[in-house]
């Protein structure tokens, strides 16, 4: 972000990073929100001496939050935490409330309410400014260890943040064809920021122009959220459209049979599971191939003493002690060392194998398998090896790898193929947890819950999103190309859940999403607080599903 110089109320000049395209007023508000003008207050607090006189002094009067403050705070929190609103829409809505109330009370001249609404729409960003908004965000994010996202203050800057590797033209928001092409391209390339793109590209001008799409939009309700949803649905690839049709079938069945545990998210869980299983299969194939090559070289002489010596040096540095018995067996003592976790028996056997290493190629290869067995012990349980201890074993395995790769080009190539999958497989197992069997058809529900993290602000969200992207990329390099798009499907799942009220309203996500709905109808929000504003109930669920299915059949 560019650095600009602004003047504080006291007349001092302060340099601050400001979003590109921000007005002077927006920069000033941003600086205030960051506490840059609170120096006097902070100094007063630093000079405070807890004498009896000081402690008995009256506290500064706290202004009671008005109804409007609470509405604004709830709206800001929903905007920061939820999945549905845009800054302009929320700002305009809040401005409409204040403008309308101002005109009714005579505080604002009649006809000026519209101007107030526009000012709110211009000034409000995704970072909550009011105490109410910050309080709500803190109350929700602190227990969940979440960091609210910060989005650009202009549509173009937001797009540039969502598409960091491509140039975004300055005039793109004025060109409908360019916006449509950008959304379609980014969806096709698996951009994980589909929600941000759909929200931003729809924020200035309608990009839903297709006849069938407009018909579907009319049926489900012409709201800003639904326009974003339709703009993505009409640009899905054929495989993703097929998956969305299955989601719609699940909704129909869920509506007919409420006790039936089927949801749109289960279809996404199926797609996630397919990728995990494909990766595990490729990893197994690569492991088998590298094993066959090692077997063909079983009598080839190799020297792996150097990485073994380095390993024992590291163990000694961690405080591991060794005792040799009368029979020659060496027993490691980890009790006073910093080497933590793992299976003591397996480590005992591994250490004795390393003290008497084979000089044959295949035996050295099998030694790597024993090392990995130790690393993987109780991966998601209380006895798992800690990260630093794992690193020592991984360096040992890597050192043996280097020796074997040098001795055989065929082994090296097979090893590289294996390496592409093993790291991802480990990440999958860590993410899935020990209670999820990736090869069990019943795991789709559990994997769907994991997938929902991608659209949440949970700390694991970006990590899981990257895992999906890296998996698709790795599988493509191994000749496996899934044609459905996980990131687009995740977007659709969230929108279908909200449109048909599938997500339980008592869940964290359900509450937040319904709060975002309220921000689109500020007058209703003023009357009902954070209760859901059901804007798309003019057609029956059957008609909505039929309209969306027609859109999914479109080529």
Which strand (E) or helix (H) includes residue 249? helix 238-256
Residue 368: the pLDDT is: 92
Quote the pLDDT of residue 214.
Answer: 92
Distance of CA 315 to the CA centre of its chain: 37
Lowest mean pLDDT, pick from 124-128, 165-169, 297-301: 124-128
Q: Which residue has the tokens 């007063």?
A: 44
pLDDT over 50 at 227, yes or no? yes
Classify burial at 544, counting beta carbons within 10 Å of its beta carbon; exposed 0-12, middle 13-18, buried 19 or more: buried
- Torsion, Cα 437 440 441 443, to 10 degrees, reads -10
Residues 6+ apart with CB under 8 A from 266: 250, 444, 445, 448
The predicted model gives 416-443 an average pLDDT of 75
**If DSSP codes are grouped into helix, strand and coil, which group holds residue 452?**
helix
Q: What is the pLDDT of residue 16?
A: 64
SS3 state at 503: coil
237-288: per-residue pLDDT in tens? 999 999 999 999 999 988 888 888 888 888 988 898 889 889 989 999 999 9
Instruction: Give the per-residue pLDDT at 442.
Output: 57
**503-506 long-range contacts, Cβ below 8 Å, gap at least 24?**
505/532
pLDDT level of residue 25 (50, 70, 90 thresholds): low
Strand partners, 321: 333
CA distances in angstroms from 505 to 424, 501, 509, listed in the order given: 35, 8, 8
Identify the pLDDT of residue 301.
95
The reported pLDDT for the residue numbered 152 is 54
> What is the rounded distance in angstroms from the CA atom of residue 385 to the CA atom of residue 340?
6
531 pLDDT above the threshold of 90: no
Confidence of residue 422 (pLDDT cuts 50, 70, 90): confident
Say how many Å lie between the first and final Cα of the chain, rounded. 42
Of 58-62, 87-91, 250-254, 310-314, where does mean pLDDT reach its minimum?
87-91
What mean pLDDT is predicted for residues 435-460? Answer: 64
Strand partners, 448: none
Instruction: Say whether pLDDT at 460 is over 90.
Output: no
pLDDT at residue 468 tops 80: yes
The candidate with the shortest Cα–Cα distance to 184, out of 210, 158, 161, is: 210
Q: Of residues 519 and 329, which shows the higher confidence score? A: 329
Mean pLDDT of the chain: 74
Mean pLDDT is highest, among 94-98, 288-292, 504-508, for 288-292
- C-alpha torsion angle, residues 325, 308, 387, 294 (rounded to 10): -110
Secondary structure letter of residue 437 according to DSSP: -
Look up residue 255 and give its two tokens: 């509506």
> For residue 295, what pLDDT is reported?
95
In this predicted structure, the answer to whether residue 444 has a pLDDT above a threshold of 90 is no
pLDDT at 553 over 90: yes
Look at residues 193, 192, 204 and name the one whose alpha carbon lies nearest to residue 159: 193
Looking at 300-314, 347-361, 408-422, 513-527, which range is the least confident one?
513-527
């Amino acid at each position: 972000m560019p650095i600009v110089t602004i003047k504080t109320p006291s007349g001092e000049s302060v340099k601050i990073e400001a979003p590109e395209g921000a007005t002077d007023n927006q920069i000033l508000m941003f600086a205030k929100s960051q506490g840059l003008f609170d120096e006097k207050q902070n100094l007063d607090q630093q000079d405070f001496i807890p004498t009896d006189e000081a402690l008995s002094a009256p506290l500064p009067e706290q202004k009671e939050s008005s109804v409007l403050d609470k509405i604004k705070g709830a709206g800001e929190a929903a905007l920061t935490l939820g999945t549905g609103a845009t800054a302009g829409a929320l700002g305009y809505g809040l401005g409409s409330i204040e403008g309308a109330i101002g005109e009714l009370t005579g505080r604002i001249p009649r006809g000026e309410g519209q101007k107030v609404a526009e000012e709110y729409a211009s000034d409000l960003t995704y970072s909550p400014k009011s105490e109410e908004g910050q309080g709500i965000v803190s109350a929700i994010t602190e227990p969940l260890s979440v960091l609210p996202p910060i989005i650009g203050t202009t549509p173009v800057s937001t797009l540039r943040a969502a598409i960091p590797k491509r140039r975004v033209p300055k005039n793109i928001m004025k060109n409908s064809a360019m916006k449509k092409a950008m959304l379609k391209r980014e969806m096709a390339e698996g951009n994980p920021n589909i929600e941000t793109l759909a929200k931003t590209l729809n924020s200035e001008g309608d990009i839903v122009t297709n006849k069938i799409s407009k018909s579907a939009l009319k049926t489900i309700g012409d709201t800003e959220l639904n326009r974003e949803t339709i703009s993505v649905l009409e640009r899905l690839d054929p495989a993703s459209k097929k998956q969305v049709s299955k989601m719609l079938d699940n909704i129909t069945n869920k509506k007919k049979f409420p006790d039936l545990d089927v949801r749109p998210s289960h279809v996404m869980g199926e797609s996630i599971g397919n990728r995990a299983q494909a990766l595990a299969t490729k990893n197994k194939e690569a492991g088998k191939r590298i094993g066959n090559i090692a077997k063909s070289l079983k009598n080839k002489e190799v020297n792996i003493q150097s990485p073994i010596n380095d390993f024992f040096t590291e163990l000694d540095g961690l405080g591991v002690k060794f005792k040799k018995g009368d029979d020659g067996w060496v027993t490691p003592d980890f009790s006073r060392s910093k080497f933590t976790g793992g299976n003591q028996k397996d480590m005992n056997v591994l250490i004795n194998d390393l003290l008497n290493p084979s000089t044959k190629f295949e035996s050295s290869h099998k030694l790597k398998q024993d090392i990995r067995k130790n690393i993987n012990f109780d991966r998601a349980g209380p006895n798992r090896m800690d990260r630093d201890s794992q690193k020592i074993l991984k360096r040992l395995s890597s050192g043996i790898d280097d020796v074997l790769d040098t001795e055989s080009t065929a082994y090296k190539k097979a090893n590289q193929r294996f390496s592409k999958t093993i790291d991802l497989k480990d990440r999958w197992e860590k993410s899935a947890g020990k209670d999820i069997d990736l090869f069990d058809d019943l795991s789709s529900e559990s994997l769907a819950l994991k997938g929902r993290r991608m659209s949440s602000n949970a700390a694991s969200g970006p990590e899981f999103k990257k895992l999906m992207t890296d998996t698709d990329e790795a599988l493509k390099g191994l000749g496996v190309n899934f044609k459905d798009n996980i990131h687009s499907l995740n977007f659709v799942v969230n929108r279908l859940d909200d449109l048909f009220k599938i997500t339980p309203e008592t869940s964290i996500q359900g509450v937040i999403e319904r709060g975002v709905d309220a921000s689109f109808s500020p007058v209703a929000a003023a009357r009902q607080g954070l209760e859901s504003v059901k804007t798309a109930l003019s057609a029956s669920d059957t008609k909505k599903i039929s309209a969306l299915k027609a859109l999914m059949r479109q080529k």
